[in-house]
Homo-oligomer: A and B are copies of this chain.
Amino acid sequence: MEQVITIKEMRAVIVSFRQKGETIGFVPTMGFLHEGHCSLIREAARACDRVVVSIFVNPLQFGPGEDFVRYPRDLKGDFEKCLSAGAHLLFLPETREIIGENSGAFIRMDRIMDILCGASRPGHFQGVATMVLKLLNIVQPDYLFLGAKDFQQTVILKKMVRDFFMPVRVEVMPTVRESDGLAMSSRNSYLNPEERKSAVALYRAMKKGKEVFLKGERKASVIKPLMENEIRKESAARIDYIEMVSPETLVPLDDIQRDAVILVAVWIGKTRLIDNLKLS
C-alpha cells in the first residue's frame, strides 16, 4: 500500500491507474478508522480495481469551539486497518496545500445544509461538501463510498454529485454497530465507561420508534415523545434533535405514509452523537 502526501504525486498515481484502465474507488475519511470505515474499504476493494483512502481531519467542517483540535488521531492504526481492508493507496493531504492560503471558494446548498445537524453546526456541511469536491477532483474516482451513519451528509453529497454532474457514482453502505447497537463512530472514543453505556439510548430510542411505527402508528407527534422518553432515561443524555424525515429531501414528516427515516442527535455528556434508522 502506497502513501501519498502531495496533490501532484496523487495525480501522477491516478494517471498510472487510468492508463492501465483500472477503476478507482474512493473512501474519504477523517481517520481514527473503525469497522464502519473498514466495511467501506472492503466494499470498494470488491467493486473496484484500486481503492484510495484519504485521511484528513478537515478544519473547514468544524465550528469554533468544536472538537477539531482534540479529534482523535491514530495514523499507525489507520495504516494497518487500510492495509488489511484492501486499500491500495493512502492519501494524506496537508492542510497548507488542500485548504490553501484562503478558503474563499465553497459549495452552498440552501435549506438542506442549514437544518438538523446543520442547524446545530453552522457551516459544517459547507465545509464537508467543499472538501469532498476538492478530493473528488484530485482523486477522480469512479465510485465514492460513504457510510449511512452520517445520513444528512450522504443526502448532501449525493445532491452535490447529481446537481453538479460530477462523473462519479455514490455508494452508501450500511451503518456498522457495536453488539449493543451503538453506531460505530470515531467520537465514541470520547465516552467514559458510564457514558458509553448511556450512548446505547440513541439506538434504543430509534428501535422503539420503529416498533411503534410497525404496529401501525403513523403520527410523528405520537412517535417522537416515545423516543424522547427513551433518551431521557439516561441522565447524561441531552437531545439535540429527533426527527422523522423524507429520506430524499430531509423534510420533516408528520403523517408518515411513505418512506421515512428517523434521525437523532444526542449529547452524551460533552460528546454529540448521531444515528439514523429507516422506517419501512
Contact = CB atoms under 8 A, between A and B. Distances in A.
B105 A137 contact: no
A133 interface: yes
Interface in A88-129: 98, 100, 102-112
A137 B166 contact: yes
Contacts of A164: 105, 130, 133-134, 137
A141 to B, nearest CB: 13
Contact of A107 (B7, B105, B110, B159): B105
Interface residues of A, number: 29
B108 A159 contact: no
A226 interface: no
A187 B45 CA distance: 53
B100 A134 contact: no
A214 interface: no
Given A7-B165, A134-B164, 12 more contacts: A98-B165, A100-B162, A100-B163, A104-B111, A105-B107, A105-B108, A106-B107, A107-B107, A108-B108, A134-B165, A138-B165, A140-B167
